[in-house]
Amino acid sequence: MPAMPHALDCPGCAAPELAFAAHDHAHCAHDALERAEAVTAANGARMTPVRRRVLEILLENHKALGAYDVLARLGAEGFGNQPPVAYRALEFLVEQGLAHRIQRLNAFTACTHPGEEHAPAFLICRLCHMVAEAEASAARTSLDAEAARAGFRVERSTIEALGLCPACQGAA
Amino acid sequence: MPAMPHALDCPGCAAPELAFAAHDHAHCAHDALERAEAVTAANGARMTPVRRRVLEILLENHKALGAYDVLARLGAEGFGNQPPVAYRALEFLVEQGLAHRIQRLNAFTACTHPGEEHAPAFLICRLCHMVAEAEASAARTSLDAEAARAGFRVERSTIEALGLCPACQGAA
DNA sequence: TCTATGTATGTAATATCATAACACGTCAAT
DNA sequence: ATTGACGTGTTATGATATTACATACATAGA
Measured between alpha carbons, how far is B5 from A169 in angstroms, rounded to an integer?
Answer: 47
**In this structure, are residues B54 and B89 in contact, taking their beta carbons and an 8 Å threshold?**
yes
Q: How far is A30 from chain B (nearest CA, A)?
A: 23
A134 touching B, CB under 8 A?
Answer: yes
**SS3 state of residue A107:** strand
* B6: confidence class by pLDDT, cuts 50, 70, 90: very low
Q: Looking at residue A119, what is its pLDDT?
A: 87
Specify the nucleotide whose C1' lies closest to residue B85 (CA). C9
**In this structure, are residues B85 and B74 in contact, taking their beta carbons and an 8 Å threshold?**
yes
A163 touching B, CB under 8 A?
Answer: yes
Q: For the ranges A74-83, A102-111, B23-32, B38-47, which has the lowest average pLDDT?
A: B23-32
Whether the predicted pLDDT of B80 surpasses 50: yes
Closest Cβ opposite residue A164 in set B153, B158, B159: B153
Which tens digits make up the pLDDT trace of B82-121?
999 999 999 999 999 999 999 999 999 999 888 877 889 9
Specify the nucleotide whose C1' lies closest to residue B48 (CA). C8
Closest Cβ opposite residue A142 in set B18, B104, B138: B138
**In this structure, are residues A127 and A168 in contact, taking their beta carbons and an 8 Å threshold?**
yes
More confident residue, B12 or B48: B48
Q: Looking at residue B2, what is its pLDDT?
A: 38
CA max distance for chain A: 53
Measured between alpha carbons, how far is B159 from B140 in angstroms, rounded to an integer?
Answer: 8
**In this structure, are residues B89 and A90 in contact, taking their beta carbons and an 8 Å threshold?**
no
CA of A75 to C1' of C19 (A): 19
**SS3 state of residue B100:** strand
Q: Which residue of B has its CA nearest to A130?
A: B152
Q: Looking at residue B87, what is its pLDDT?
A: 98
Whether the predicted pLDDT of A15 surpasses 80: no
Query: If you write DSSP's letter for every residue of B32-83 in order, what string do you get?
Result: HHHHHHHHHHHHT----HHHHHHHHHHHTSSB-B-HHHHHHHHHHTTS--SH
Asked if A139 and B142 come within 8 Å (Cβ–Cβ), the reply is yes
Q: Looking at residue A3, what is its pLDDT?
A: 37
CA of B81 to C1' of D10 (A): 34
Write the burial class of residue B121 (CB in 10 Å: 0-12 exposed, 13-18 middle, 19+ buried).
buried
Strand B131-134's sheet: what is its strand order?
Answer: A131-134, A121-125, A153-164, B153-164, B121-125, B131-134
Q: For the ranges A99-103, A155-159, B1-5, B124-128, which has the lowest average pLDDT?
A: B1-5
Which tens digits make up the pLDDT trace of A115-169?
877 889 999 999 999 999 999 999 999 999 999 999 999 999 999 999 999 999 9
CATH class of B3-171: mainly alpha
Measured between alpha carbons, how far is B113 from B15 in angstroms, rounded to an integer?
Answer: 9
Average pLDDT of span B129-144: 97
CATH of domain A19-171: 1.10.10.10
Q: Chain C: nucleotides under 7 Å from a protein CB?
A: 7-13, 16-21
Average pLDDT of span A79-102: 98
Closest Cβ opposite residue B157 in set A132, A141, A161: A161
Q: Looking at residue B110, what is its pLDDT?
A: 97
DSSP 8-class letter at A116: S
Domain regions of chain A by residue span: 19-171
**What amino acid occupies position B25?**
H
Q: Which residue of B has its CA nearest to A162?
A: B156
* A7: confidence class by pLDDT, cuts 50, 70, 90: very low
**What amino acid occupies position A7?**
A
**In this structure, are residues B125 and A156 in contact, taking their beta carbons and an 8 Å threshold?**
no
Strands B153-164 and A131-134: unpaired
Whether the predicted pLDDT of B17 surpasses 70: no
